Amino acid sequence: MLHVGINGFGTIGKRVADAVRVQPDMTVAGVSKRSPNFEATIAHDRGYDLYAAGDDGRVPFDAAGLDTAGTVHDLVEVSDVVVDTTPGGVGATNASLYEEHDTPAIFQGGEDPDVADVSFVARANYDDAVGADSARVVSCNTTGLSRLFAPLEESYGIEKARITLVRRGGDPGQTSRGPINDTLPDPVEIPSHHGPDVQTVFPDLDIDTMGMKVPTTQMHTHSVNVTLESTPSAEAVRELLGRESRLFLIPETLGIDGAGKLKEYTRDAGRPRGDVWENCIWAESVTVEDNDLYLFQAIHQEADVVPENIDAVRALSERTASARQSIDRTNDALGVGRGLVEHEGNAPRSTADD
C-alpha cells in the first residue's frame, strides 16, 4: 500500500484524501492543517491522522481539543508520496521540505510550472511523470482542456484552438471572492494564462484563450472552437468523445441547460459533495463546419483535478500501472462515470494509451 500524505485539507485536499482512501493500493498517511477550523474537525472525525502545519505547531489544536500526530515534517517523513494542496504559491515554499526527506511530491495548478519536473494530465502525458521526483497537476481549466484535446489531437490533429473561459467568481466557501454584480474580463490581456498553461502539457499546440469572471459559485463554462486538420462529422466527434471515460456528453433529453441543473443532477445521483469529476459537454453543442469544431463544456473547479492527483501518485511511485490501468483503477474506485446516464455515445471505458 502506498502511504499518501496530503499537505492541506481544504477544497482540493479533502477531496484528494477521500479519493485516496477508496483506492485499492493506497492509504492516507495523514493530512495537515494550519488551524483547527471546521475542516480540521472533519479530518479528525473521519479518522485521518492530523498534522499541524502552522507556525504555532500543535498548540492551537491542543487548545481546541484536537489530537495531532505531529507536525507537517512528521507527515512528510511517514509518506511515500505527498500531495501538496496548499494555496497557490505556498507549495513552492514547501518544495525544499519534500526534497529534504527525498519524498516525491505532487503540486497543484496554482503553482508555477517550474515547481515540478512535469505538468501532468493523466490522459495526455502520464508516462512523462513515471518515476519523476515531482509533478504539477495542472489547474481545473487546463485539466479540462487537455482531456478534450488529447483524443482530438490523436484522431484528427489540431491546427488551432480558440477558447473563451467563463469562470466562476469563487468557490462556495470563498466568501471573500467576487465579483458580486459584474462581468469582468479576467485578465483583460490576451491570451489569458490558460493557453500557456495548456502548452506545458501540449508544447506544440497553437492555442489562444480569453478569460471572463462572473458572479457565481457554479462551474466554469468553456466556449470551444478547434480547427482540426481533418474534417470529421459532428456525429463522429460525439462518438469519439463519448468513448472517453472522463468526458460526459450531456444528452439533450436530460434538460440540463446550465451548471446549476448539472450540479443538482450529480447531487441527486449520489455524488459525494455533488462532485463532477468529468468534463461535461453538451452533446447538442457539438458542431462541425468544414474543419472547425465548436462545443460548450462545463468544468467543476472543485473536483475535476482529483482523479488526476490519484493517477499522479501512481506515476511518481513507479507502480507497475500503465496510464490506462491507473485511469481505470482510479475511475472504478471513485465511481467516475457512475451515476451519470449511459446512452449511445457515452461508453463506460477509457481510451488512454497503454
> How many whole angstroms separate alpha carbon 72 and alpha carbon 6?
10
For residue 182, give Cα distances in angstroms to 141, 169, 178, 201, 213: 21, 10, 9, 33, 8
**The three cell numbers locating residue 22:** 477508496
Do residues 29 and 20 lie in contact, with contact meaning Cβ atoms separated by under 8 Å? no
Name the 3-class secondary structure at 135: strand
Active site residue ranges = 140
* The residue to which cell 462545463 is assigned: 298
Per-residue three-class SS string for 182-209? CCEECCCCCCCCHHHHHCCCCCCCCEEE
Phi/psi region, residue 71 (left: phi>0; alpha: psi -120 to 50; beta: rest), is beta
Judging by DSSP bridges, how do beta strands 134-137 and 105-107 pair with one another? parallel
- Could you give the dihedral angle defined by the CA atoms of residues 151, 154, 158 and 162, in that order, rounded to the nearest 10 degrees? 20
Paired residues of 187 in beta bridges? none
Do residues 40 and 63 lie in contact, with contact meaning Cβ atoms separated by under 8 Å? no
